[in-house]
Structure 1
Amino acid sequence: MKTLDLQEIRKQLDGIDREIVSLFEKRMALSGQVAEYKIETGKPVYDREREQQKIESVTGMVEDEFQKQAVRELFTQMMTISRHFQYKLMAEHGLKAENDFRPVKNLPANQVRVVYQGVEGAYTHEAALKYFGADVDIYHVDSWEDAMKEVEAGTADYAVLPIENSSAGAVTHNYDLLIKYNNYIVAETLLPVDHALLGLSEAEEGDIKTVFSHPQALMQCSEFLNANRNWRQISVENTAVAAKKVFEDGDPSQAAVASEIAGNIYGLKVLKSSINHNKNNTTRFIILSREPIYREDAGKISISFELPHKSGSLYNMLSNFIYNGVNMMMIESRPILGRNWEYRFFIDIEGNLSDASIQNALKGISEEGSNMRVLGNY
C-alpha cells in the first residue's frame, strides 16, 4: 500500500471530520426528539442501564483494545453532551431540579439569637460579632454539633461555624454536620487569624512546658511550636478554651495559642505575638439558618452529592458545570460512613439559584448522582 503524503492525509482527515460533524448534528437532533418524548412522559433524562448497554454495544464493534477504550471514551462523552442538551430543553419547559429555597431581599436581622461554639474570646465569637454586630443576642455552647442542634430546634436563629482555613484547610467535621442536620448556609464571613502565645503575667517564654490550643491553631503555628521540641502540645475544644484553662490552672509552665483578644479577656500576657507561619492566615465562617432562604444578590452556592465508585464518575458529574459555563470554586470530599472507599463531595460554585445555567447544572447532578443537596446560596 502506497504511503500518502502529509497534505493528502490531512485532506482525507478533513473530509472524515466533516462527516463526523454532520452525523453528530443528526445525532443531537434525535436527542432533542428524545427530550421531547421525556418531557411528555415525565421520564428522567439519565438512563444508566440504557447508556451502559450502548457503551457495551459500540465497544464490541472493534477488536483492538486501544480502540475499544477510545470508542468507550468517545461515546461516553457524546452521551454526556446529549444529556446536557436534553437538560437544557427540559429547563426551557420549566422542568428543573426542585428545591425549597426562596429568595429574600435581606436576611432577617431584628431580634435574632446567634449561637457559637466555645467561650467568649474564641475566633468564632469574633466572627459572629463581626457579621451581626456587637449588640446581637449571642450565646455559646460546648460543641459545633450543639450549635447545629440549637438552630435546627429553633432555639437560635443562626449559628456561626468555621468551615475552612487558608493554612490548615477544611474543618472536616463541620462538613459532616452539614449533612447530618437540616440547616442551610445563608451567609459567610472571613476573619483574619493572628495567633499569639499567651501565658500568665509572671511567666516567660522559657518557663513554658505545655501548650494548649485547638488542633488547627496548633497546626497553623507548627513551625514556631515545633522549634521548641520540649513543649507538649495538647488539643482542646478551641483557642479561647485554651486561654481560659491557662488562666484557671494558674500554672506558669502552661501557655495557650489564641488571639490577643482572648488574652485580654482572661488576663494573660502575650509571650510571643503573631506566631502563625502564614501571616495572611484567614478563616472562613459560615452562617446557618433552619430556613431555606437566600439573598436575591447571592453569588455562591454550596452543594453536596454522592457518586458510584467507578472510573470517570466525578469527571462526568463535573461536566454539568462545564457545559453550563458554571465556575467551580472549591471541591472537598468526605468518606461516607459505613461504605468503605466511597465519598461524598462538597462543591462551591459561582451563581444564584434563579440562574438558568445553575438550574440546568443542578438538574443534571440531581439525576446523575445520588443524595444531591443544595446546602445554601449566599
Structure 2
Amino acid sequence: METQKPRVAIQGIRASFHEEAAFRFFGNDITTVECTSFKQTFEKLKAGEADYLVMAIENNIAGSILPNYNLLLSYNFPVVGEVYVPIQLHLMGLPGVAFEQITTVTSHPMAIRQCDDFFNDHPNLKVVESSDTAACAKRIRDEQLTDTVAIANNLAARIYDLQILERRIESNKKNFTRFLIMTTQENVQKTAADKASLCFEVRNEAGALFKVLEVFKEENINMSKIQSMPVLGKRDEYKFYVDVEWEAQGNYDRALRGILKFTHNFNILGEYKRYEEEESESR
C-alpha cells in the first residue's frame, strides 16, 4: 500500500521560506498546503486538511515573532520538531531584464529590513512591501513586470523562472530563522527527545523566576531561549515561554518535578529532537 505524502501547511505560497523549511525537515516528498496567514495553518491542521504545520518563531536578527507564541498556546498542538533555515536573499526579475531598467523592489517587510545596505546603495529604488517573498516573485512572472524585481530565495527563482540579478544582498550573512513543526496529538510519534518548549507563569514577587532557573541549573538543563509575554487582562503578569535542552532524560524529568512547585498554568508545548544541521543537510 502506497504511503500518503505528509500534508504540510505553510504560511505563504510555494517557494516561500516556510516551504524551504518544510523540505529541510520532511524532505521533498510532501504535499504543501498554502495558507494566507499563520492562523490559517492552525485551522487547516484542526480541520484535518493538513497533517503538520510549519511556523516561523524567531529570526536571529529581527527577533521573536511574538503573535505566534499566542497561537502556540491557544491551539495547543504539540511541537514535534524544529528546523533552522539560513536566510539568503537574492534580487530577481524576468530573464533579460537589466538592472538599469529596475524602478521598484518588492518583498516581505522583514526581508526588506534585512537588506538595508543594498537599499542604502540604491536610494533611487522604490520599495513596495508585500505579505510573502515568493508571492512577489510569482507576481513578476505572472504579470511579466520588466521594471520590478523581487527579493526572495533560490527556490522562488527556480520555480518561477526568474533571473537572479544580484546574489546574497542580505546585510548580515549569518542570518537564519527558526521554524517549529507541529501536528495533532494523534500524529505524535514517541521519539527520544532532548529538547522541550515549555510555558508557565510565576508569582509576581521578587525571586520567583530565579527559583525556576535555579532548578534548571541544579539539574544541568540548558535554557536555550526565554521569551516573556503579557497575560491578557492581568497587569504586570507574564507568561514565560522557555526552550530547554538536556543530555540525560533523568535530569529533565527531575527538573520538571522541581519547577512545578514554583509555577502555575504550566504547559509542555512539545518534546522533540533538537535541530542538527549535519543531519538536515544530508537529507
The TM-score with structure 2 as length reference comes to 0.84
Among 13, 16, 35, which residue is 1:141 paired with? 35
Do the aligned partners of residues 110 and 349 (structure 1) sit closer, same or farther apart at CA in structure 2, a change above 3 Å counting? Answer: farther
For structure 1, which segment, 199-208 or 268-277, has the greater mean C-alpha deviation from structure 2 after superposition?
199-208
Task: Measure, in 2, the Cα distance between the counterparts of 1:336 and 1:249.
Answer: 45
**Alignment correspondent of 1:319:** 214
Whether the 8 Å contact between 1:152 and 1:182 is mirrored in structure 2 is no
Report which of the two has the higher share of strand: 2
Do the aligned partners of residues 337 and 234 (structure 1) sit closer, same or farther apart at CA in structure 2, a change above 3 Å counting? Answer: farther
1:224 Cα deviation from its structure 2 partner: 1.7
Whether the 8 Å contact between 1:188 and 1:286 is mirrored in structure 2 is yes
**Alignment correspondent of 2:202:** 307
Whether the 8 Å contact between 1:294 and 1:377 is mirrored in structure 2 is no
Q: Is 2:177 aligned against 1:283?
A: yes
**1:315-349 superposed Cα distances (whole Å, 9 cap, x missing partner):** 22212212222111111222333335433221111
1:188 Cα deviation from its structure 2 partner: 1.6
Q: Is 2:228 aligned against 1:333?
A: yes
For structure 1, which segment, 247-256 or 214-223, has the greater mean C-alpha deviation from structure 2 after superposition?
247-256
Structure 1 residue ranges, 4+ long, deviating more than 4 angstroms after superposition: none
**Alignment correspondent of 2:134:** 240
Whether the 8 Å contact between 2:33 and 2:50 is mirrored in structure 1 is no
Give the 5 Å matches for 1:13-162.
Answer: 111-162=5-56
Whether the 8 Å contact between 1:365 and 1:372 is mirrored in structure 2 is no
Whether the 8 Å contact between 2:219 and 2:254 is mirrored in structure 1 is yes
**Alignment correspondent of 2:281:** none
Q: Is 2:185 aligned against 1:263?
A: no
**Unaligned 5+ residue runs, structure 2?**
273-283
Aligned letter for 1:345?
A: F
Whether the 8 Å contact between 1:164 and 1:285 is mirrored in structure 2 is yes
Return the structure number with greater relative CO, CA threshold 8 A, min gap 6: 2
1:301 Cα deviation from its structure 2 partner: 0.7
Whether the 8 Å contact between 1:301 and 1:348 is mirrored in structure 2 is yes
Aligned letter for 2:215?
A: N
The TM-score with structure 1 as length reference comes to 0.65
Task: Measure, in 2, the Cα distance between the counterparts of 1:314 and 1:235.
Answer: 40
Aligned letter for 1:241?
A: A
SS in 2 for 1:135: coil
**Alignment correspondent of 1:344:** 239
SS in 1 for 2:145: coil
Whether the 8 Å contact between 1:210 and 1:253 is mirrored in structure 2 is yes
SS in 1 for 2:79: strand
**Alignment correspondent of 1:191:** 85
**Alignment correspondent of 1:228:** 122
Do the aligned partners of residues 260 and 317 (structure 1) sit closer, same or farther apart at CA in structure 2, a change above 3 Å counting? Answer: same
* Count of residues in Structure 1 that have an aligned counterpart in Structure 2: 269
Q: Is 2:98 aligned against 1:204?
A: yes
SS in 2 for 1:347: strand
Do the aligned partners of residues 227 and 298 (structure 1) sit closer, same or farther apart at CA in structure 2, a change above 3 Å counting? Answer: same
**1:30-62 superposed Cα distances (whole Å, 9 cap, x missing partner):** xxxxxxxxxxxxxxxxxxxxxxxxxxxxxxxxx
**Alignment correspondent of 1:218:** 112
**1:232-291 superposed Cα distances (whole Å, 9 cap, x missing partner):** 433322210121233334433322110122022223221211111222322222210111
Task: Measure, in 2, the Cα distance between the counterparts of 1:230 and 1:366.
Answer: 57
1:294 Cα deviation from its structure 2 partner: 5.5
1:110 Cα deviation from its structure 2 partner: 5.6
Task: Measure, in 2, the Cα distance between the counterparts of 1:245 and 1:338.
Answer: 42
User: Larger Rg: 1 or 2?
Assistant: 1
Whether the 8 Å contact between 2:79 and 2:271 is mirrored in structure 1 is yes
Whether the 8 Å contact between 1:307 and 1:369 is mirrored in structure 2 is yes
Task: Measure, in 1, the Cα distance between the counterparts of 2:236 and 2:142.
Answer: 44
Report which of the two has the higher share of helix: 1
Do the aligned partners of residues 362 and 153 (structure 1) sit closer, same or farther apart at CA in structure 2, a change above 3 Å counting? Answer: farther
RMSD over aligned CA atoms reads: 2.4
Task: Measure, in 2, the Cα distance between the counterparts of 1:210 and 1:309.
Answer: 50
